[in-house]
Amino acid sequence: MKKRIAWITGSIVFLIVAVLLGASDYFYNQGVKRGEKVELYSEEPVELPNSETDRKLLVEAQEWFATQKLDKLEMTSYDGLKLRAHFLEHPQASGKAVILAHGYRGFGEQMGDLAKFYYEHGFSILMPDARGHGDSEGDYIGYGWHDRLDYQNWIQRLIDDYQMDSIFLHGNSMGAALVLMISGEDLPSQVKGIIADSGYTDVSEELSHQLRHLYHLPAFPLISITSGMTKLRAGYWFGEASAIKQVKNNTRPLFIIHGDQDELVPTEMAHRLYEAANSEKQLWIVPGAGHTDAYAAATAEFQKRLEAFIESALGF
């Protein structure tokens, strides 16, 4: 009888472990492994409160970007990956540059809506493809964590090869978390300011949010097991990939932007990131805007606020 109970118990435990490992492998493939676009919560379109002026500005920006000739740059990462970026150099050589960091499963040129604004303000524009994205190598998504080291190298490339002395970092979604993660590193003095639009606090919290709302499952133990699997396969834990921890060490002016209708990355994360930051900082919660919709929802005001932030950060 005891052997039978032990066999049944062992079988149940084995089955549970097998199911959890299988589910974690599935979530790793969905969330971390490089691949095609996956379902996210929530990508339902939000009706934007933008004006005719905003719509006109956005269309002009998109049409302008489509006509630009971009240079292609390449760099080898600290772990041997070939990383690629598109670069639009300003002819006036003002020494100003912005690095635009794209979102999850995106690519650098998706940040082109912002290019016209920066170009008209004398900036050269670098748009890298993050590891595991676009034309860059890599078989996993770093959610900003390993990417922060890659982007430090892009920063140095701008300094060494193009003599840039005033560099801003501007990211959307995963790119926003990325620039917040970079903010806690020892950055060169040429980095003057950071703009984070729709960034998450840390990877563990964001994936837990996705798990609850997409699959109606509790975070524990799947997130913990998938985090361990990610450590083995990609070299990082979800918990260490934390924008909110990094931003506590930031010393650069910081502008946090978030839509009040964002369900993909909850708006409350923006408030927590803002509270955690110890540097000079601004927070703008954009009415009626969903995830990374702020620029489309309030283009004119976005440009006005961004211009004021840049001038302040440069000490004008």
CA neighbours within 13 Å on the CB side: how many for 185? 21
- At 13 the pLDDT is 47
- pLDDT for 93 equals 75
Taken in order of first residue, the domains within the chain and their CATH numbers are 1-31+204-237 (no CATH), 51-202+241-313 (3.40.50.1820)
- Among candidates 8, 31, 7, 5, which has minimal Cα distance to 223? 31
Instruction: Give the span between the Cα atoms of 128 and 314, in whole angstroms.
Output: 24
Query: What is the pTM (predicted TM-score) of this model?
Result: 0.94
Integer Cα distance of 19 and 81 in angstroms: 34
Q: Positive or negative CA dihedral for 173, 251, 239, 258?
A: negative
Q: What is the pLDDT along the chain (316 residues), one digit of tens a residue?
A: 666 665 555 555 445 556 567 878 998 999 999 986 666 655 566 778 889 999 999 999 999 999 999 999 999 999 999 999 999 999 987 899 999 999 999 999 999 999 999 999 999 999 999 999 999 999 999 999 999 999 999 999 999 999 999 999 999 999 999 999 999 999 999 999 999 999 999 999 999 999 998 888 889 899 999 999 999 999 999 999 999 999 999 999 999 999 999 999 999 999 999 999 999 999 999 999 999 999 999 999 999 999 999 999 998 5
Of 193, 299, 283, 263, the residue nearest 40 (C-alpha): 263
pLDDT at 213: 86
Tokens standing for residue 26:
């599935």
Burial class (CB in 10 A: 0-12, 13-18, 19+), 72: exposed
Angle between helices 147-162 and 174-183 (to 10 degrees): 70
